[in-house]
A and B are shown apart, each in its own frame.
Chain A
Amino acid sequence: MSEATDSAPTHGAGRRWSWTDPKLRSAVIQIALGLLLLFLLWAFYSNAVANLARQGIASGFGFLDNRAGFAISQTLIPYNEDMSYGRAFLVGLLNTLLVAVLGIILATILGFLMGIARLSKNVVIQALASAYVEVTRNLPPLFQILFWYLAVLAALPGPRQSWGFGLQPLFGAIGNGLNAIGLGVIGGPIGAFAAGLGAPSVFVNNRGLVVPRFFMESGGTLLLAAIAAGIVIAVLFSRFAKKRREATGQIYPVFWIGLAIIVGLPLLVSAAMGFPIGVERPQLRGFNFSGGVTVIPEFVALLLALVIYTAGFIAEIVRAGILAVSKGQSEAAHSLGLRNGPTLRLVVIPQALRVIVPPLTSQYLNLTKNSSLGVAVGYPDLFSVFAGSTLNQTGQAIEIIAMTMAVYLTISILTSALMGWYNKRVALVER
């Protein structure tokens, strides 16, 4: 760069090594700080390695291939004790992601509903929503997890006294009721129909929720292809509908049609194959139900607590966002003839999102991090399985804590990045 273009009134000419030059000074300080930081990191590292070696403690990541030997109570991928610590890490990671992703989705839905309800003109709804917010966000999340786990779910009956759900008990009860009031003519056939339905196949007890497991006996890939095709067609349709709306003003019920395509296409395909769907019904055998799929109460308690706790905060964020949109906007929408629903959906919320999204990101991050509180009820998340059991059995604290930190950091940064991208999309385009 030539001196001539440097029009700023600095000590441009000469550029000598001097502490009086603020730019140079700040550069020197920053480089020195950077070097110091590197030195500190190096010192920590070499100190740790030397100390571990002197005490004869194993180090390195080789332990990830060793046999884990412990059981995990919820596994989304196949796992048994013979598999490695690395596999246990994956199982724990998936459990953390499962509760975090489901929690974020449900907390968003509940939070939006509650936030909107707090602004309702209906006094009862408004009071209920206010009470909800004040109670949930003022109780510590750990307390809420323990409440659901020890006070609510633990009070459910044991496996032998499970509550069974299905059509059979319902119709059976109707049949019995009709018989009792002397309408045996109708009650009899209904009772027979109920008996024909078989035993209930959904059970709730203090070991969790037990549901039948469905699986494809054949043509599984075809069904997956049908689902994928359904999604693609639905997306194409929504684009078409948008163009059509912009061109002609004609409005399609995009959501319902899309849903119909995504659900209907796979249904049609499996119907064409003659419904090759197998059902594995849970059966009480010995101590517990075997077969089917069990949703463990640790997961339910953690999810409920995280959703209800976080939704309290989200409700306030949503309320703030909506109140930030000036009243004139909804008045204008009303004067155009839009009813309350469309006004909220099409005019107010899109503008409110600008205010809602940044603090919402923080809540998502909080929910993800709070999921590690599941350790208190034995939910096998990353923190419990990896930074708990694995750390204890291997003793490799530094490696395991570093990996756990890296995972939480990665999840958080990804969430932030995703929300940042979304925030840019909804941000007000200034003209």
Chain B
Amino acid sequence: MKKFLIAATAGLLAMAGAAQAATLDDVKARGALNCGVSQGLPGFSSPNDKNEWSGLDVDFCRAIAAAIFNDPSKVKYSPLSAKDRFTALTSGAIDLLSRNTTWTMSRDTTLGFNFAGVIYYDGQGFMIRKSAGVKSTTELDGASICVQTGTSNELNVGDYFRSKNMKYKEVIAFATLDEAIKAYESGRCDAFTSDRSQLAAVRLKLTNPADHLVLPETISKEPLGPLVRHGDDQWFDLVKWTYFALLNAEELGITSKNVDQMVNSTNPEIKRLLGTDGKYGEGVGLTADWAVRIIKAVGNYGEIYDRNVGPSTPLGIERGINKLWTEGGLQYGMPVR
């Protein structure tokens, strides 16, 4: 009895202590990064038949693993539905959520998360059957609309219809993307609404993609990015600066192919990023050459984009606003200094 009491008390104290530990130390001790991704969204995070994950969001997980372990494969992927993703991060089941998640104020504040950056600037759109003869979202009055539970899309639909003085027939919310798509494809809804990048990916998965059309309007801002829990600033810094390193590498012309030569560059900006001048990497708990490891493993932001969602991929999405700021886009890496 006494022993049990002592054990129980000790257990409780240990539980209270565990939540305080630094995420980076946990990841190092574990030997792998626990990364939350989608359950299968081509271009962002999807597994192939050998259960090897690829995509924009996946490459970000791999970049972090490369920075820590010098091995991009040391990632354990947790496929999460939109509904379950936040609980997984809050509870500590994952270290990082890199799952096409929109940066919103409530998620950044009351839900207890920090967004490390915007890896893809997106916006919400509608997909509809061509046979419906609709050319614009303003013609959707009276439509049945399928959506995923727990997304910002679910909230935007109501706001959009109201702002356009339209009424939907009904909004049916499904727990997973697959269920929502199946319902849309079976004719349960007239339109499926989600982020445009997701619509492009989903459309390819449909039996006959040519029968479906993504309407031209974008009804909301959906900045998608990786996020971490509140309460561990060092980990937050590491994730945030990994993102900036990817952008700066592209801006400075450092690629996975030329990074070994670039180490010898005399350009002071390149020297600071690659750690030949100063020890900036130690600021995020790593070594000075952290960015070299990242770029060698996954390339710069442009390479990641082109490999996963760019014009040469099945998704074929132009860079658009996701170009670097120097080329008229929104992607802007903070200076390493």
Q: Name the CB-closest residue of A to B229.
A: A55
Q: Is the CB of A393 within 8 A of B150?
A: yes
Q: How far is the CB of B103 from chain A (nearest CB, A)?
A: 14
With A286-B142, A287-B143, A287-B169 in contact, is A375–B86 under 8 Å at CB?
Answer: no
Residues of A contacting B188 in the complex (Cβ-Cβ under 8 angstroms) = 154, 206-207, 297
Interface membership of B170, Cβ < 8 A: yes
Interface membership of B154, Cβ < 8 A: yes
Residues of B contacting A378 in the complex (Cβ-Cβ under 8 angstroms) = 146, 172-175, 179-180, 183
Residues of A contacting B325 in the complex (Cβ-Cβ under 8 angstroms) = none
Residues of A contacting B28 in the complex (Cβ-Cβ under 8 angstroms) = none
Q: How large is the interface on A (under 10, 10 to 19, 20 to 34, 35 or more residues)?
A: 35 or more
| Most A Cβ at <10 Å: residue of B106, B151, B187 | B187
Q: How far is the CB of A209 from chain B (nearest CB, A)?
A: 14
Q: How far is the CB of A40 from chain B (nearest CB, A)?
A: 7
With A50-B16, A57-B111, A288-B169 in contact, is A29–B158 under 8 Å at CB?
Answer: no
Residues of B contacting A326 in the complex (Cβ-Cβ under 8 angstroms) = none
Q: Is the CB of A287 within 8 A of B112?
A: no
Q: Is the CB of A73 within 8 A of B186?
A: no
Interface membership of A199, Cβ < 8 A: no
Residues of A contacting B175 in the complex (Cβ-Cβ under 8 angstroms) = 375-376, 378, 384, 388
Interface membership of B5, Cβ < 8 A: yes
Residues of A contacting B132 in the complex (Cβ-Cβ under 8 angstroms) = 287
With A50-B16, A70-B173, A73-B170 in contact, is A288–B144 under 8 Å at CB?
Answer: yes
Q: Is the CB of A58 within 8 A of B142?
A: no
Q: How large is the interface on B (under 10, 10 to 19, 20 to 34, 35 or more residues)?
A: 35 or more
Q: How far is the CB of B178 from chain A (nearest CB, A)?
A: 10
Q: Is the CB of A392 within 8 A of B86?
A: yes
Residues of A contacting B87 in the complex (Cβ-Cβ under 8 angstroms) = 391, 397
Question: How would you classify the secondary structure of chain B's contact residues: helix, strand, loop or mixed?
Answer: mixed
Q: Is the CB of B110 within 8 A of A154?
A: no
Interface membership of A316, Cβ < 8 A: no
Q: How far is the CB of B88 from chain A (nearest CB, A)?
A: 11
Q: Name the CB-closest residue of A to B157.
A: A71
Q: Is the CB of A394 within 8 A of B110?
A: yes
Docked pose: A250 CA to B169 CA in angstroms: 56
Q: Is the CB of A71 within 8 A of B168?
A: yes
Q: How far is the CB of B185 from chain A (nearest CB, A)?
A: 9
One of A52, A286, A298 near B143 (C-beta < 8 A): A286
Interface membership of A222, Cβ < 8 A: no
Q: Which 6 A-B pairs have the closest CB atoms?
A: A392-B150, A395-B111, A57-B112, A154-B186, A71-B171, A81-B158
Q: Contacts A55-B112, A57-B230 given; 16 further ones with Cβ under 8 A? A: A32-B1, A36-B8, A55-B90, A155-B186, A207-B169, A207-B188, A287-B140, A376-B179, A378-B172, A378-B180, A388-B150, A391-B83, A391-B150, A392-B86, A393-B155, A397-B87
**Could you name 29 residue pairs across A and B whose Cβ atoms are closer than 8 Å?**
A32-B1, A36-B8, A47-B16, A51-B16, A55-B231, A70-B155, A71-B154, A81-B155, A158-B187, A206-B187, A207-B188, A286-B142, A286-B143, A287-B143, A287-B190, A288-B142, A288-B169, A298-B172, A377-B179, A378-B180, A388-B149, A388-B150, A389-B173, A391-B150, A392-B150, A393-B150, A394-B111, A395-B106, A395-B110
